């Protein structure tokens, strides 16, 4: 069984500024600069003002929830690919897909970057499925919470980066 989810991540910067940051290789390299257990591959298969970000990271065992740690037979490896398209009008769309090894999990969905009165927001809509008998349904909300935390962390980074560019 899978679990559907949706949430928004608010930003205090305009759509154009955030999108410009999201599609730049140097910004993503800076984002992952201190991620010692992560690898990053960037490409632009749809051309200028688009990006594909493929990230792979080994989760620190002490940061893995207990229910998940008990089920792991190997390291928990998280693989995520985001595709951001060019701005069309006042919005930009994207898609994401994430998988885990060590425990069978899959998450996918769509992004919409859109303006708000305070700046912009990324609306996230997706599904998550953890393929573990009996406890998969209990782990799926944890996976969604983790994804919210990741996107909130990215929000902090990107807002600081955009602000630094404005001050430069």
Reply yes or no on whether the pLDDT at 72 is more than 90: no
The SS3 of residue 145 is helix
The DSSP bridge partners found for residue 105 are 100, 130
Of 108, 96, 74, 90, nearest in space to 18 by CA: 90
pTM reported for the whole predicted model: 0.90
Domains defined for the chain, CATH in brackets: 3-167 (3.30.530.20)
- What confidence score (pLDDT) does residue 137 get? 78
- What confidence score (pLDDT) does residue 168 get? 64
At 122-148, the pLDDT tens digits run: 999 999 998 877 677 777 888 888 899
């Amino acid at each position: 069984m899978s679990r559907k989810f949706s949430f928004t991540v608010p930003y205090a910067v305009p759509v154009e500024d955030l999108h410009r940051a999201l599609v730049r290789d140097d910004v993503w390299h800076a984002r992952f600069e201190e991620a010692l257990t992560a690898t990053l591959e960037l490409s632009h298969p749809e051309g200028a003002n688009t990006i594909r970000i493929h990230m792979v990271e080994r989760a620190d065992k002490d940061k893995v929830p207990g229910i998940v740690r008990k089920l792991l037979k190997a390291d928990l490896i998280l693989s995520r690919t985001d595709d951001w398209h060019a701005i069309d009008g006042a919005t930009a769309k994207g898609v994401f897909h994430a998988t885990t090894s060590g425990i069978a999990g899959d998450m996918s969905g769509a992004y919409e970057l859109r303006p708000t009165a305070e700046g912009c927001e990324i609306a996230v809509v997706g599904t998550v499925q953890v393929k573990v008998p009996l406890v998969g349904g209990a782990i799926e909300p944890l996976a969604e919470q983790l994804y919210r935390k990741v996107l909130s962390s990215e929000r902090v980074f990107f807002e600081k980066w955009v602000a630094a560019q404005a001050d430069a």
